[in-house]
Structure 1
């Protein structure tokens, strides 16, 4: 029989099974470490997803910016898989929050997801929340947004701040597609939306434009100060065109026909009447035809500019007793200057004029083929023609008046190239999409 001490020495020296024993002793810690690492990685992934959802929801709230902004945000969060009140998810949406600039116009969205612990508890981590009575981890993300504003350009603007400044009366053939229109009071398009892209109004916009917006910030007149560019006009008298055929004709200085090389300011006192077609050549520069206390009687003829020439027709004067408009049928075929103090301006009525400024058939009598701005700030006009670009100009037409009624055709064909034509279009800031600020 082998001695017991020999067996004991052999047992002590036997190393078989050591790895199994060590593994058994270390396994709980190893599983806990692996579990914690896996869960932490999952938490980070969840947090990233939550942040994406919070950002999108906050942008949606600010873009909506109505009394239903919270519903919009909750719906967007749900599209990311985070449904408020389900599976440990909470979606909090609040408005009138303080922005980084100190204003209280921001929207805050906070998404919280509470997840049960799986293996992290093995190493003693008890979480920071509970879910259904079990230890859990709370993960959250927050986003802050504000509704941005963007300038919107207009090709038709009614400046009057009272009543209904922009309106239509049927106008079944009106076509302002590619344009937007603006009224500084109400806009009412009865029977036809003008096909304008946006119909904005500081008051109520009713059926004007494919998209109507009421309560828009009023547009500040961007052109009234251009009157400061006018030189002093020293006139001894202001001859007027005869009302009857046997009346005394205008003096030769007030009658135009033929080809003219003009540059700078050309001041005319009283009515100007065309006795034949007129072509204005300003070379590579521009000219300003300034008519003081008088109108422009085309008398059935055409007033045109040559290629590269820029002409601005300005009506000014003391006001009462004179007409300050183009009349007499015929055709105005001019392009505005692309440089200089009257850049982009084709026809300009002095804002001080309040008498003899209204037009009853704008764009139709005379025919307007105009590149540039027609500015009639105190005029009540009826727009019933189709305005095309000038023969030698870019596709740009903008009309600004006190009030505008669109009848008949009322179409603008010259659009989209105002920047190339030298005109800064009238615009106002309108609500735009949301923008993240945190």
Structure 2
């Protein structure tokens, strides 16, 4: 009996000291915890990857929306998000877009795109995680990302601006190019405050903007652009009072065999002329031969034709020294307020003074007798500067080259509306020429801010 008890005691002590099964027990107890941790880690990784994918989509979508800047900015944003696989309303995806989001620097005009999508829970429920929602009886976790951008702007100059579409301008179209295979506005931007339609040719303008629809005008055509106000109407305040006292002289062929009404000598030019300061002509100015204009004033010469036309009659008017601005002023009536008659205009606008950069200026109060049917061709235009014809319907049939004297390759035109048939050599040395082209602040590339 004693031996049996002693033997049993030794076995009990040996069993207590034997720890070979402890590891198995510990592992068995830890397996659920390990599985839960791995499951949670796996799902968190999946959520993170989903968020990164959504962030990339949101960044691209908000950049597209802010760069668009138009009425359909939200459509463009959702289209970009869809390219990343996030289609609004499909598989519980939400793509929210706004252009009134708070900006980090202040204001509420930032663009913001938020993308979210609920994903089902799997093993993470083993640790009691219940997610953020229940959809069709399945617990889900909402995953999402957002991005904010501001709309950057750039100042865009135009060598051609049509005013049709602005208040007071009733023309139904701005720019039209029918075929015009020789038109070349390379290095130039064009803008219509109404429509722009180019059939068969883009005009090769770098950028073609239109407030309404732009059909193929420009290498980069843009529709729905902000309108551009008349940039030069304010210059009319610099036109002096009419000195003619109501008497104007016109070259008028009479009916039958009556002789033509002659113009006085003051209205017929040929040879060398000095135009310092302001020179006024009452009625038509006709060239009876080539005219060489010179001046010594720093601001150039100002030639104002009151209630009359400039009839080159096949001759050339050019500056041989100095600069020139030709202004058509007066009142509406039967008069023509424009250059006519073939030949050539060859001069450069002043580089200083109130008429800096302005070559030809039709006063904005003139609405009749202002149209030009053969611009650049009859007469030929070799002009450096701006031609401002705010109420004129213009057919542009010729080529524009720089002036021979003091000429740089810079030309700009502002008209009511234009049909382009000819060519254009319109380059961009305008800073040196003292020319400030019409311009507009337009949407540029967007910038992410958050």
Tell me the TM-score range normalised by the shorter chain: 0.7 to 0.9
- The CA deviation at 1:400 is 1.7
Do the aligned partners of 2:114 and 2:144 also contact (CA within 8 Å) in 1? no
Secondary structure, in 3 states, of the residue corresponding to 1:290? strand
Relative distance call for 1:26 and 1:286 in structure 2 (3 A) is same
- The CA deviation at 1:114 is 0.4
Counterpart among 371, 375, 380 of residue 388 in structure 2: 375
1:162 and 2:164 correspond: no
| 2:233 match | 224
Do the aligned partners of 1:233 and 1:292 also contact (CA within 8 Å) in 2? no
- The CA deviation at 1:133 is 5.5
| 1:112 match | 117
- The CA deviation at 1:181 is 4.2
Distance 1:130 1:423 in 2: 67
Do the aligned partners of 2:268 and 2:285 also contact (CA within 8 Å) in 1? yes
| 1:345 match | 358
- The CA deviation at 1:290 is 2.9
- The CA deviation at 1:375 is 0.4
Relative distance call for 1:237 and 1:125 in structure 2 (3 A) is closer
Which stretch shifts more, 377-386 or 161-170? 161-170
Distance 2:130 2:98 in 1: 37
1:296 and 2:296 correspond: no
Q: Which runs of 5+ in 2 are unaligned?
A: 254-258
Distance 1:436 1:331 in 2: 53
Do the aligned partners of 2:195 and 2:212 also contact (CA within 8 Å) in 1? yes
Secondary structure, in 3 states, of the residue corresponding to 1:220? coil
Q: CA deviation digits over 1:223-274, x for unaligned, max 9?
A: 10011223446456867475689875643696353375x66x3223335455
Relative distance call for 1:351 and 1:60 in structure 2 (3 A) is closer
| 2:408 match | 394
| 1:251 match | 265
Do the aligned partners of 2:62 and 2:111 also contact (CA within 8 Å) in 1? no
Distance 2:310 2:37 in 1: 91
| 2:43 match | 39
Do the aligned partners of 2:112 and 2:146 also contact (CA within 8 Å) in 1? no
Q: CA deviation digits over 1:378-404, x for unaligned, max 9?
A: 333322111122344333222222333
Do the aligned partners of 1:175 and 1:196 also contact (CA within 8 Å) in 2? no
| 1:362 match | 375
| 2:436 match | 424
| 1:412 match | 424
What CA RMSD, in Å, does the superposition of the two structures yield over aligned residues? 4.3
Distance 1:237 1:80 in 2: 72
